[in-house]
Structure 1
Amino acid sequence: MRIGIDLGGTKIEVLALDDVGSELIRKRRPTPTGDYAGTLDVIAELVAFVEAKIGRKGSVGVAAPGAISPASGLVKNANSTVLNGKALDRDLAAKLGRPIKIENDANCFALSEASDGAGAGASVVFGVILGTGVGGGLVVDGRLVSGRNRIAGEWGHNPLPFARDDERPGPLCYCGKSGCIETFLSGPGFARDHFARTGAALTAREIAAAAAAGEAEAGRSLALYRDRLARGLAGLINIVDPDVIAFGGGLSNIDSLYIGLPELMGRYAFSDRIATETRRAVHGDSSGVRGAAWLWPIAPC
């Protein structure tokens, strides 16, 4: 049995999979706000709940914001700031009395979709998350690639490719730089850009709905977003050249996002033809917790 934990800013979810990936049980609890010790307690309680219900122990993998720094062994880059600077992997292993595996939540998303989702059977899969932030993860031949610095897949913190004069220097990003892809392609970034152009305060979903209803300014905003997405993905394709790009996050549910996307990517990528397949995630919001469970290839008996 594989147990996955999705450690989010507002909720902690546990899921158990059998050895062929079938779901056995899942449960959610609110994340204790600003309480690191309380967060560890909730994770331990959820693992204990699953094992009591199923009647056996399992491996434990965790999808978490940020990453474990190879330099310090502590969490870095987490937007759930209570985790930053903490030895989350060692603290959880001590709490649970067993080794655990922790990966960035975007990496877990990519691993889930590569294992038995949108990228199943593909050699190179890049998972893209478009939501409150912009994240990504890379899986090659079924193996998650975290990188030497554990930042592989962080395409959202590269500059927007082929930036135009009115896109420079770009919005300030929380990482301290300006013009990151995330500042343009996140849900808040999309909404902010539409407001700056039109004065209309709409969410990303509302902009897409207005565009579908024929509202001209919303249509222009959506077209610009799609073009920026294509530019960002073209840069990714030039470096990684994946077989499949799997999309997750709230914005991935906007159907019109995919219209003409391969052709747009082809305008910017360094190739005469783009055969990369773009697919929506099969497991949706469950991909993070499923990917956490898949961090262990073989569960202990």
Structure 2
Amino acid sequence: MAIDVGGTRTRVAAEDGTVVRFPTEPDYDRQLALLRDAVQGRPEAVGVSFGGRVTEDGDVRVSLHLRAYEGRPLGRDLAAALGCPVRVAHDATCGLLGEHALGTLRGEDRCGYLTLSTGVGAAVRLGRGEHFVALTTEAGHQLVEGNDRRCGCGQTGCLETLLGGAQLRRRLGRGLEDVDDPRFWQVYAQRVAAGIANFALTAGLEAVAVGGAIAARRAELWPPLRQALADRLTYQAVRVHQAATEDAPLVGARVLAGTPPTSILH
């Protein structure tokens, strides 16, 4: 089975393909109870995509949008509740695994995944075939010159303050789904392009998939984003794709359950 615990919503996918969706509960213990109720039967193994940094054992290290989860042993608690092995990884890493397995990154040896959703997450996959390593990065917290906005991580100037859905909702007083001003999305696309360019060039990536709710639901983002990337990346071109599905982290959580632990750096 696969579970995706995001900063805003949770999805649970059963083996038969059915998906249960519900808002993520900010209270850790109530969220565990909801997950127990959503998982039917006793699965052989569960992969979990989580909106934050975790340890190899699935303990939550940092979650800027689910602060009450920090320090909690999510992987071990779910394993005890569900009676099966549980693997947990950052949602960007799972999105990357999902896109490489079934989406736009199939066959790529040097690739990345960027998610534009409640926050901004990024992960890198390097290697050929079964011999690879996937790791979460902090590209969402790269510092943007001239940006004086304070981020939830404690830094000033993070890319996430310009692109993350939660931070923009607080600043605008409404969600991005309600913003239809073409000028806003032109500026947003320019900022995404700069972030992708830095992310890709730093890691020497050949392809990047962009996923998350914002990327999936705002079609007007893509033409100016592609143009901005073409204008910027004059040294080393990078193939940039819209993620094949908004459910890439959920798909990747299933892949994670069967991935060797040595291939994932948390």
TM-score after normalising by structure 2 = 0.82
Q: 1:95 to 1:222 in 2, by over 3 A?
A: closer
Work out whether 1:282 is the aligned partner of 2:244. Answer: yes
Unaligned 5+ residue runs, structure 2? 260-266
- 81, 91, 104: which is aligned to 1:95? 81
Q: Give ranges in structure 1 of 5+ residues lacking alignment.
A: 18-22, 52-56, 147-151, 196-200, 212-218
Q: Give me the identity figure in percent.
A: 27
Per the alignment, do residues 73 and 261 of structure 1 end up closer, same or farther by CA in structure 2, a change over 3 Å counting? Answer: closer
SS at match of 2:256: coil
Q: Say if 2:148 is the partner of 1:177.
A: no
Letter paired with 1:181: L
The C-alpha deviation readout for 1:184-236, integer Å capped at 9, x for no partner, is 1223555778x6xxxxx6653454x332xxxxxxx2x4333222222211111
CA-CA distance at 1:33 after TM superposition: 4.3
Q: In the alignment, what sits opposite 2:263?
A: none
Taking the aligned partners of 2:9 and 2:193, their CA distance within structure 1 comes to: 32
1:257 aligns with 2:221: yes
**Mapped contact 1:107–1:144 kept (Cα < 8 A):** no
Q: Summarize the alignment of residues 1-301 of structure 1 with structure 2, pairs less than 5 Å apart.
A: 3-17=1-15, 24-34=17-27, 36-47=28-39, 49=40, 51=42, 57-69=43-55, 74-78=59-63, 79-140=65-126, 141=128, 143=132, 145-146=134-135, 152-160=136-144, 163=145, 167-168=146-147, 170-187=148-165, 203-207=175-179, 209-211=180-182, 219=183, 221-252=184-215, 253-265=217-229, 267-269=231-233, 272-274=235-237, 276-284=238-246, 286-297=247-258
Does structure 2 retain, via aligned residues, the 8 Å contact 1:77–1:84?
yes
- Deviation, structure 1 residue 67: 2.1
Q: CA contact under 8 A between 2:49 and 2:88: conserved in structure 1?
A: yes
Question: Which one is further off, 24-33 or 118-127?
Answer: 24-33
Q: Deviations over 1:113-142 (max 9, x none)?
A: 111012122222211111221111222346
Tell me the SS of whatever aligns to 1:235.
helix
Larger radius of gyration: 1
Q: CA RMSD in A?
A: 2.8
